[in-house]
């Protein structure tokens, strides 16, 4: 039902100029004073995550690096980060990025990749020489991952951490302790007390081992710790959820960034953010646009904290900005949303091994670089056992099974939610999957009560895309919020687990002569990013509302006819949601609102 996939298709071209920067790296140097070591950091059966560490062991600076290796047939790299990875048959080559090629004496750099298959690298070369100064095989192995730390003796300002030891073929020398992805200490034992913390604050800790050659192994799992004491800003509406979607690709053409939530005043009006979207590939959760997610550098004036990113900091991009936002607004919870219209085709394969899928998702959410950023996961499957961009035939039980596997893997301390269809028609999409049975495993449903009607039917009839109720002449019975919510309640979903969806955009037609709904049209009205769709912040001035129908505003200006929600119609919908006992509301998506966040404010005010 949602149009966001259209915007996603356009941002790939914006990344192309970055590829050209790789050519700035200086020519490769001899590798006699550098080493490259490999570690498999995760394995989920059908695939794995690998990490290479390049270390300058010489006395002069290394200005570039190239690591080469061979994989056995059937093993390959599917995605990578912090290096440019290419292949020729079974031979793989990784070259430094423009910003991480220079290594001072004693310095090291890591790059990683996701792979398919089960093979290990062989015939390693670093800048044309051996990876350890000896043979062309990887030499001294890196240490294994230590055990996930456990936390004890938590106070306002400190916490004690303990973990099980790592192993290494030549011995473990010490351990790096990481807090929120950054190293805070190196210790020789398997415990550490972290001090100087802030009361009432969330932290994430993990550890990694170093061997006698100073090679680092994979990072352990992370433990989430909240110090005692302090004061936490309460959610702005008490027990009601107010959630907005933040789009990963919005940082490009839309020029919408996490800081906009602060400058618009929206951050103080919401309780949750869904970060959209992670991809679903080969039955696994993956980060989609790694540059926007955790690599894009922000200047001081662009960042939430007012501090500029540096080239060597462990985390940049949207994830780091969300971390800064949560520091400033500690009541906000962030969920990583996977799927969406474009990426829902991967859920069918994921449902075939739901436990492995859930494990891969948790590995992404708990990546030590950003484990403190995310408080849960949102699954946006459009649509289980029904048709969206593609048609799914997983069966009516697949969605429930997937939801159960996610809850089993994530446990009770994470939020697990789902965005679902709002097709309330008889025999429609709500009837195609066991949403009632799945509800026991989920904290709530984001019911997508928008996109019911639009210029995908180019001839009309014109109709509000987000009707609250039915009305005489509605083009399709069951296509309205009230019918969808009623059907979900009838299937056993508690009202408090249902959030009403609001679109921060309108849908419109052109060639319309009739002001009232039900008119004929000749096609889609012009839109900034896509024909037939426009942001509220534009429509409120370019085509002001001329009437309301079924709780939604509509506007007729020239030959164009639009429907969209306004602060006034949102107030009515929030009153309805409260009267229905719903858990709150959510909206797609932040950038459609005005610079002063008037729609988000209407949701906040309406749910009080």
Query: How far is the C-alpha of 392 from the C-alpha of 381, rounded, in Å?
Result: 10
SS3 (DSSP) at 348: helix
Q: What distances in angstroms separate CA 528 from CA 46, 254, 525, 539, one per listed residue?
A: 42, 10, 10, 11
Q: Do you find a cis peptide bond into 383, omega within 30 degrees of 0?
A: yes
Contact 82, 311 (CB under 8 A): no
- Length of the chain counted residue by residue: 608
Q: Following CA atoms 417, 351, 366, 445 in sequence, which dihedral angle do they give, to the nearest 10 degrees?
A: 0
Contact 343, 2 (CB under 8 A): no
Smallest Cα–Cα separation from 181: which of 204, 208, 155? 204
Query: How far is the C-alpha of 19 from the C-alpha of 396, rounded, in Å?
Result: 44
Q: What distances in angstroms separate CA 179 from CA 151, 207, 313, 510, one per listed residue?
A: 13, 9, 13, 55
Residue tagged active-site, from 68, 366, 382, 409: 382
Within 13 Å and on the Cβ side, how many CA atoms surround 406? 30
Query: How far is the C-alpha of 515 from the C-alpha of 508, rounded, in Å?
Result: 12
Distance of CA 390 to the CA centre of its chain: 22
Query: How far is the C-alpha of 267 from the C-alpha of 596, rounded, in Å?
Result: 11
Q: What distances in angstroms separate CA 194 from CA 151, 186, 575, one per listed residue?
A: 10, 12, 47
Query: How far is the C-alpha of 509 from the C-alpha of 538, rounded, in Å?
Result: 16
Q: What distances in angstroms separate CA 426 from CA 268, 487, 488, 590, one per listed residue?
A: 40, 9, 12, 33
Q: How many beta carbons lie within 10 A of that of residue 32, not counting itself?
A: 12
- Based on the residue annotation, tell me whether 589 is a catalytic residue of this protein: no
Helix axes 481-490, 567-579, angle to 10 degrees: 20
Q: Following CA atoms 115, 120, 125, 126 in sequence, which dihedral angle do they give, to the nearest 10 degrees?
A: 50
DSSP assignment of 16-52: HHHHGGGGGSPPP--STTEEEEEEEEEE-SSEEEEEE
SS3 (DSSP) at 211: strand
Contact 451, 2 (CB under 8 A): yes
Residues forming the active site: 382
């Amino acid at each position: 039902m949602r149009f966001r996939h259209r915007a996603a298709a356009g941002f790939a071209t914006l990344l192309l100029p970055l590829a050209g920067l790789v050519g700035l790296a200086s020519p490769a140097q001899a590798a006699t004073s550098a080493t490259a070591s490999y570690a498999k950091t995760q394995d989920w059966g059908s695939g794995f995550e690998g990490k290479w560490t390049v270390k300058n062991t010489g006395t002069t600076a290394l200005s570039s690096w190239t690591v080469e290796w061979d994989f056995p047939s059937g093993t390959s790299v599917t995605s990578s980060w912090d290096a440019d990875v290419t292949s020729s048959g079974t031979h793989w080559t990784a070259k430094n990025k423009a910003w991480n090629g220079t290594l001072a004496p004693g310095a090291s750099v890591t790059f990683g990749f996701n792979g398919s298959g089960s093979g290990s690298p062989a015939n390693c070369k670093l800048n044309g020489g051996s990876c350890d100064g000896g043979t062309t095989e990887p030499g001294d192995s890196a240490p294994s991952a230590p055990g996930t730390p456990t936390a004890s003796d938590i106070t306002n300002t400190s916490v004690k951490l303990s973990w099980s030891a790592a192993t290494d073929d030549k011995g473990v020398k010490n351990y790096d302790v990481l807090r929120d992805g950054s190293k805070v200490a190196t210790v020789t034992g398997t415990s550490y007390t972290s001090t100087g913390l802030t009361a009432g604050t969330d932290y994430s800790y993990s550890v990694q081992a170093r061997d006698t050659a100073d090679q680092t192994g994979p990072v352990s799992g992370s433990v989430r710790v909240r110090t005692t004491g302090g004061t936490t800003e309460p959610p702005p509406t008490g027990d009601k959820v107010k959630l907005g979607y933040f789009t990963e690709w919005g940082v490009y053409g839309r020029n919408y960034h996490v800081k906009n939530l602060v400058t618009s005043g929206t951050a103080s009006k919401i309780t949750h953010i869904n970060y959209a979207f992670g991809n679903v590939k080969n039955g696994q959760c993956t980060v989609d646009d790694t540059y926007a997610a955790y690599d894009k550098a922000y200047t001081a004036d662009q960042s939430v904290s007012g501090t500029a990113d540096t080239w060597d900091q462990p985390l940049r991009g949207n994830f780091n900005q969300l971390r800064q936002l949560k520091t400033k607004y500690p009541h906000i919870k962030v969920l990583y949303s996977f799927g969406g219209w474009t990426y829902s085709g991967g859920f069918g394969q994921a449902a075939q091994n739901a436990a492995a899928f859930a494990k891969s998702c948790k590995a992404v959410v708990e990546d030590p670089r950003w484990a403190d950023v995310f408080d849960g996961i949102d699954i946006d499957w459009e649509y289980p056992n029904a048709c969206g961009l593609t048609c799914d035939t997983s069966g009516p039980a697949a969605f429930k099974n997937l939801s159960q596997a996610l809850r089993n893997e994530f446990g009770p301390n994470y939020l697990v939610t789902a965005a679902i269809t709002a097709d309330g028609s008889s025999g429609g999409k709500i009837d195609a999957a066991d949403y009632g049975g799945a509800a026991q495993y989920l904290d709530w449903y984001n019911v997508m009560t928008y996109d019911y009607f639009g210029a995908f039917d180019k001839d009309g009839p014109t109709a509000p895309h987000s009707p609250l109720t039915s009305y005489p002449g509605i083009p399709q019975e069951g296509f309205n919020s009230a019918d969808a919510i009623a059907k979900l309640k009838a299937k056993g979903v508690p009202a408090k687990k249902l959030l009403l969806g609001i679109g921060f955009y309108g849908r419109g037609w052109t060639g319309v002569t009739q002001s009232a709904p039900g008119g004929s049209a000749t096609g889609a009205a012009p839109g900034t990013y896509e024909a037939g769709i426009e942001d509220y912040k534009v429509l409120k001035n370019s085509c002001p509302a001329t009437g309301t129908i079924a709780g939604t505003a509509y506007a007729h200006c020239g030959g164009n006819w639009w429907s969209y929600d306004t602060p006034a119609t949102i107030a009515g919908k929030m009153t309805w949601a409260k009267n229905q006992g719903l858990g709150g509301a959510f909206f797609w998506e932040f950038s459609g609102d005005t610079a002063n966040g008037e729609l988000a404010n209407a949701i906040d005010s309406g749910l009080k």
